[in-house]
Amino acid sequence: MKFSTKAIHTSGNDPQTGAVAFPIYQTSTFSQDVPGQPREFQGRRLSYGRSANPTRTALENSVAALEGARIGIAFSTGLAAINAILMTLKTGDHVLAAQDLYGGAYRQFMKIISNFGVEFSFVDTTDLNNIREGLRSNTKLLWLESPSNPLLNITDIAAAAEIAHEQAVTVVVDNTFATPWLQLPLQLGADLIIHSATKYINGHSDVVSGLVVTNDEELGAKIQFVQNAIGAVPGPQDCFLVLRGLKTLELRMQRHCDNARAVAEYLADHELVKKVYFPGLPSHPGHDIARKQMNDFGGMVSFVLKGEQKNFDAFFAGLKIFTIAESLGGVKSLIAHPPSMTHASMDEAARHKAGIDDGLIRISCGLENSEDLIADLEDALAKASQA
């Protein structure tokens, strides 16, 4: 089955009623005919709502199918999914992570998990030598984000996984920006995928949710154990919405990518723009690897304006269609200033080390008509240059 067919059909119709839209099983527990012998649904035991719920299982299995995996595990947020992976570690373990990664992941690593004696170090993973040199005898995880947030750096996942596997290090890829339509990290050699399903997977800016996907039965069982034992599970209503969003992922990603390409090309030619970060531009240092490991280049574009604070302020004030907001991957185009918004939890030194300019602007191209998006940027840039 091809991608969109899988996205639409994996969850099936409701086995009980034939409902074509998979129902919201709004229940906290399930009846058992014989004590200790709960019913099963798509491989999960229906004993208690934290352990499993059919709406959740339908979502988990659908995302797993799209990633070419056997096991999907849903969480209340992307950060809860990240946490579930970290909860499989022990004191004394080390995690080697990409230096340019989601600010909330960085915050959880440094402000919470490191309190339990887990060590973290950060390197530029676009240079494979840094991975080779950064691995230690106690390294358990290599944590990659490609394309990364917010600089859209591209790491060669297959090559990085090969280096990590020589030392039996588990490879985690945050596939939030790419989604399985653009990139299949497990096929490239990764062991675990995390998603903030809040973003493209759901795609409508109306849910926060997260997922872990794996083909490794042992890792999958450990993370399912954490899912139940820690309990950061999504409710059935949220699972329903994510499952609904997932069905149109292919169509949405195509438009996100087309819009981002148009916006990036427009910005790259504008005299007030100092630098554009978009892996689809041949000038992007990761362009060739992105072509090799991705279907297209994604819906995110970052850039830096020339000029001073007043130009920057006038630009943001001049936007009408772009909404100033955190998050990404929804139908509406959003614009953010990572240093004061999504990445404010990263200290300034770490941000500068990662190459995040104090004036960096990040765009999530929505599903509007690209001509309207460009016209909106044109107006705001004109106001910025007159400021």
At closest approach, how far in Å is the CB of 326 from ligand PLP? 8
Q: Which stretch binds ligand PLP (CB under 6 A): 17-25, 193-201, 246-254, 330-338?
A: 193-201
Instruction: Report d(CA 54, CA 27) in Å as an integer.
Output: 10
How far, in Å, CA of 278 to CA of 147, rounded?
A: 9
Q: Is 223 left (phi over 0), alpha (psi -120 to 50) or beta?
A: alpha
253: Cβ contacts below 8 Å, ≥ 6 apart? 179, 181, 182, 200, 296, 299
Min separation Cβ 181 and ligand PLP, Å? 16
Q: Clarify whether 102 is annotated catalytic.
A: yes
Written as six digits, the tokens of 173 are 């890829």
Over the window 20 to 59, marking each residue x when it contacts ligand PLP by CB under 6 A and - when it does not, the resulting string is: ----------------------------------------
> Which 318-377 positions form the footprint of ligand PLP (CB under 6 A)?
none
Q: One symbol per residue from 85 to 104: x for binding ligand PLP (CB under 6 A), - otherwise; what is it? A: -----------------x-x
**Segment 105 to 164, residues that bind ligand PLP, using CB under 6 A:** 105, 145, 149
Number of residues that bind ligand PLP (CB under 6 A): 16
Question: Which one of 79, 151, 182, 290 is in contact with ligand PLP (CB under 6 A)?
Answer: 79
Residue closer to ligand PLP (CB basis): 126 or 149? 149
Rounded to 5 degrees, what angle do the CA atoms 153, 206, 211 make?
55
Catalytic residue among 6, 45, 50, 332: 50
Considering only CA atoms, which of 49, 79, 384 is closest in space to residue 237? 49
Distance CA 55, CA 11 (A): 9
From 112-120, 196-204, 271-279, 305-313, span contacting ligand PLP (CB under 6 A): 196-204
How does DSSP assign 84-107, residue by residue? HHHTT--TT-EEEEESS--HHHHH
C-alpha–C-alpha distance, residues 272 and 307, integer Å: 8
Residue 71: strand pairing partners: 214
Minimum gap (Å) between residue 339 Cβ and ligand PLP: 16
**Catalytic position from the list 25, 102, 200, 277:** 102
Catalytic entry in 100, 124, 174, 191: 174
Phi and psi at 156, nearest 5°, equal: -75, 100
Q: Which stretch binds ligand PLP (CB under 6 A): 11-19, 77-85, 91-99, 369-377?
A: 77-85
Which range, of 76-84, 114-122, 281-289, 330-338, touches ligand PLP by CB under 6 A?
A: 76-84
Report the distance separating Cα 372 and Cα 381, nearest Å.
14
d(CA 120, CA 72): 26
Q: 282: exposed, middle or buried (C-beta count within 10 Å: 0-12, 13-18, 19+)?
A: exposed
Only segment of 71-79, 213-221, 254-262, 353-361 that touches ligand PLP (CB under 6 A): 71-79
Rg (CA), the chain: 21
> Which residue of 44, 140, 199, 351 would you call a contact of ligand PLP, by CB under 6 A?
199
191 part of the active site: no
State yes or no: residue 208 binds ligand PLP (CB under 6 A). Answer: yes
Catalytic residue among 199, 247, 261, 362: 199
Query: Per residue, what are the HEC states of 336-353?
Result: ECHHHCCCCCCCHHHHHH
CB of 79 to ligand PLP, least distance (A): 4
Concerning whether 50 is annotated as a catalytic residue, the answer is yes
- Residue of minimal CB distance from ligand PLP? 78
If the CB atoms of residues 43 and 355 are measured against ligand PLP, the closer one turns out to be 355
Catalytic residue flag (residue 174): yes
Select 208 or 305, whichever has its Cβ closest to ligand PLP.
208
CB of 149 to ligand PLP, least distance (A): 4
Enumerate the β-bridge partners of residue 141. Answer: 95, 170
210 binds ligand PLP (CB under 6 A): yes
Count of beta carbons in the 10 Å neighbourhood of residue 193? 28
Report the interface residues with ligand PLP, using CB under 6 A.
77-79, 102, 104-105, 145, 149, 174, 176-177, 196, 198-199, 208, 210
Catalytic positions, written as ranges:
50, 102, 174, 199
